Amino acid sequence: MLRAVASGIAMIVAPFAVAAAEPSAAEKLARAYVEAYSRADWSAMEPFMADDIAFVDRTNPDPRSLPVYEGRTAVLAMLREFGAKSGVIELGLDFPIVFESNGVVVFAGKVNTLSAAPGATKGYRWRAEQVIALTVSGGRIVRHEDFANYARPVIEEQRLPGTGSDRGVSASGRSQAARAGGLLRVSPPPGIAVAAMGR
């Protein structure tokens, strides 16, 4: 009797185990998009965006931030302005949890933004819990939702790679900093290898 029950359970579970071995097309696309987002490479994000993409960050307390940015042009303009004004080198996203359901890919973990003023030898890490939900349709990201713990971030000073005590960070130094920590760290799906860079 027990053997029959166990056999029945195995038959039910087996198809799901096989399906989990290969990430969906939506998850693959979302991972590539978030890798670019982690590097603060706005141009690399653009090809993944639908023309009518909506970017939502309801947890952002900044009154100057719109609740929703609609359209690829508006979203990219917002991201580029944010990057330029804040001196963003990378977002340093670290997502141990990634899953896809019904065309929505969810990333859960932390954001570790590194930013610095022009000519600075030191930057700042802004660390907080973060969740990203990406809706994929027609092979493009149609909705990007950010949820970050703006209420309790941890802010740490950090010396930038390629800088000395008597000189500011150069363009090459900023690139080195991004390469050193800008790769997305996520738990890879079974059978998929993802490089993890230490911070």
Measured CA to CA, the distance from residue 58 to residue 65 in angstroms comes to 9
Banded pLDDT at 10 (limits 50, 70, 90): low
pTM reported for the whole predicted model? 0.74
**pLDDT: is 158 or 17 the higher one?**
158
- Read off the amino acid at residue 87: G
Is 100 among the domain residues?
Answer: yes
Measured CA to CA, the distance from residue 174 to residue 178 in angstroms comes to 6
Is 7 among the domain residues?
Answer: no
Domain span including residue 134: 23-186
Highest mean pLDDT among 13-22, 71-80, 166-175: 71-80
Asked if residues 37 and 91 have their Cβ atoms less than 8 Å apart, the reply is yes
Model pLDDT, residue 9: 56
Is 17 among the domain residues?
Answer: no
Asked if residues 17 and 11 have their Cβ atoms less than 8 Å apart, the reply is no
Measured CA to CA, the distance from residue 161 to residue 164 in angstroms comes to 9
Q: Over 70: is that where the pLDDT of 60 sits?
A: yes
Banded pLDDT at 75 (limits 50, 70, 90): very high
Cβ-based burial of 111 (10 A; exposed 0-12, middle 13-18, buried ≥19): buried
Residue 131 sits in a domain whose CATH number is 3.10.450.50
Is 61 among the domain residues?
Answer: yes
Model pLDDT, residue 169: 39
The values of phi and psi at residue 59, to 5°, are -85, -10
- Read off the amino acid at residue 95: F
Percent of the chain with pLDDT over 70: 70
How many independent structural domains does the chain possess?
A: 1
